[in-house]
Amino acid sequence: MAGPIHLEGTTLEGGGQLLRLATCLSALTSTPISITNIRGKRSGGGGLKAQHLTSVQWLGAASNARISGAGLKSKEITFTPGSRSTSGLEWRNGGEVHIKQSTPGSVNLVLQAVLPFMLFANLGSEDAEVDEEVRVKITGGTNVSNSPSCDYIEQVLSPMLSLVGIPPIETQVLSRGWSQGGARIGSVTYTLKPLRKPLPAFQLRDRGDIETVRATIIAPKNTEQQFRDELDVMFERREAEVFGGRDPNVDTTFEDSKHEKRYYLLLVATTTTGIRLGRDWLYDHGVRAGKTDTVISSIVRKVSDDLIEEVEHGGCVDEYMRDQLVVFQALAVGKSNVYGGKRKEVLVEPSLHAKTAHWVANEVINVYFDDDGGCKGLGFGADTEGSTELAIDENLREALKKLKITGD
Ligand SMILES: Nc1ncnc2c1ncn2[C@@H]1O[C@H](COP(=O)(O)OP(=O)(O)OP(=O)(O)O)[C@@H](O)[C@H]1O
């Protein structure tokens, strides 16, 4: 029998996303994998942090996997899932799933690892009551640097997934949990509906015009007015860059961060075709007396610069969505396309995270991403994997051409 598929953890981005995607695809498709040098490109020696370990253990339990080597800081694991037919619905526990972290590790990186499993796992399982909702409560950090915030999940990821055919995911933040330095553990409940049918291929090609921008500010209460004023000035000055020729439509919400060192801003643009582009920044340092204005204006400047860059490329995904959609393209039935936009007439290259996700999907389930962001998915859960299209061998196609019969 062939051994597990080996993945070298320093490949491309070489971080935690490689591990999350690989174990999730492994668990779903019952494909044994081994990963060496886990998070090998991260400082501090790499290896599994609590957040990564939580995800691996949850996926392992849900797929009846044998896991060897998994512990805090471990750099190598072998993950051998049991047969999915025996996993059934055990992981759902009557529609409730509770994943506890005792550290403020990002709840949304745990979600990133487990969500595709939860959505797809019951496809093809005869006993599955697939229309039942699942409430997933995860504790940890709700707003953590270098990861999606709960606000991003609610305002960007969930609406984008709805556009590609995943039922809307409802977000309920029960309490905020902030990352290191005065860490606080929070919790959030996501309510989702596992898929009843294989995911059809999807096309995200038409960006449309920017219709609205929503600004979400979470900061110490006494900074609300400064933030609002700074945003008003920015939008007045940069209206044309954000909205093109359309009337500006900005909606701003403010929440007290209840933490003197936590300033968070998320800007989300929604287009006429329903596309969402989001950019954010969590500023988590102390602010010296008299410097609050400077800090707020640099947060607003940075996030608006980033959003405008996303608007200007004309693509249907922001940098982060692009890698987070990869798993859905990889599992869909048929060829999905995601237009990433152009800068100076040249296609925007996928980020290193996106290229890493392409590589992992190729290694574990043998699907291929082309340079334009297209991928013919595995067709997970379909009777014949990947086959809504009639598969015609190239030789046969040539022969048919000679007979003037097309196979298209
Ligand atoms: N500001 C953001 N908004 C939305 N998503 C984000 C943001 N920053 C990062 N991400 C996403 O979070 C994921 C981070 O992956 P990464 O491999 O860096 O994870 P990690 O577990 O933090 O790894 P490591 O600890 O090894 O850095 C990627 O999917 C990336 O798109």
Q: What is the pLDDT of residues 48-82, one digit of tens each?
A: 999 999 999 999 999 999 999 999 999 999 999 99
User: Which residues lie below 8 Å from residue 100, measured CB to CB, with a gap of 6+?
Assistant: 54, 138, 139
Task: State whether the beta carbon of 16 lies less than 6 angstroms from ligand 1.
Answer: yes
Distance 39 CA to ligand 1 centre (A): 12
Confidence band (pLDDT; 50, 70, 90) for 184? Answer: confident
In the chain, residues under CATH classification 3.30.110 are: 1-84
User: Could you confirm whether domain 210-312 is CATH 3.30.360.20?
Assistant: yes
Cα of 148 vs centre of ligand 1, distance in Å, is 7
Q: Is the minimum distance from the CB of 272 to ligand 1 under 6 angstroms? A: no
Q: Is the CB of 13 under 6 A from ligand 1?
A: yes
Closest Cα to atom 20 of ligand 1: 16
Ligand 1 atom 18, closest CA: 15
CA of 73 to the centre of ligand 1 (A): 18
Q: What is the mean pLDDT of residues 361-376?
A: 95
User: What residue has token string 């982060």?
Assistant: 320
Which residues in the chain are classed under CATH 3.30.360.20? Answer: 210-312
Distance between Cα 145 and ligand 1 center (Å)? 8
109 lines ligand 1 (CB under 6 A): yes
Classify residue 384 by burial, with Cβ atoms within 10 Å: 0-12, 13-18, 19+. exposed
- 233 Cα–ligand 1 center, Å: 31
* Residue 286 burial (C-beta neighbours within 10 Å; 0-12, 13-18, 19+): exposed
At 128 the pLDDT is: 57
Ligand 1 atom at shortest distance from the alpha carbon of 39: 26
323 Cβ below 6 A of ligand 1: yes
- Cα of 89 vs centre of ligand 1, distance in Å, is 29
How many helices, marked H, and strands, marked E, lie in the chain?
Answer: 11, 17
CB 391, CB 399: distance < 8 Å: no
What ipTM does this complex have?
Answer: 0.97
Residue 84's pLDDT is 65
CA of 16 to the centre of ligand 1 (A): 8
Instruction: Name the residue at shortest CA distance from atom 13 of ligand 1.
Output: 147
Summarised one tens digit per residue, pLDDT across range 111-125 is 999 999 999 998 866
Q: Is the CB of 148 under 6 A from ligand 1?
A: yes
Q: Which residue in this structure is represented by tokens 């086959």? A: 387
Pocket test for ligand 1, best of 320, 352, 358 (most atoms within 8 A of CB): 320
Which burial class, exposed, middle or buried, applies to 290 when counting CB atoms under 10 A from its CB (0-12, 13-18, 19+)?
exposed
Question: Which pLDDT band, with edges at 50, 70 and 90, does 380 fall under?
Answer: very high
Residue 207 scores a pLDDT above 80: yes
d(CA 106, CA 43): 18
How many A from CA of 397 to the centre of ligand 1? Answer: 43
Whole-number pLDDT of residue 398: 53
Residue 315: pLDDT band with limits 50, 70, 90: very high
**Average pLDDT value for residue range 380-393:** 55
What is the architecture, at CATH level 2, of domain 1-84?
2-Layer Sandwich (3.30)
Q: What integer best gives the mean pLDDT of the chain? A: 90
Cβ distance 158 to 188 under 8 Å?
Answer: no
* Strand order from edge to edge, sheet including 77-80: 5-8, 33-36, 77-80, 66-68
Q: For atom 4 of ligand 1, which residue has the closest CA?
A: 148
Which atom in ligand 1 lies closest to the alpha carbon of residue 41? 26
Residue 130: per-residue pLDDT: 53
> Ligand 1 within 6 A of 322 CB?
no
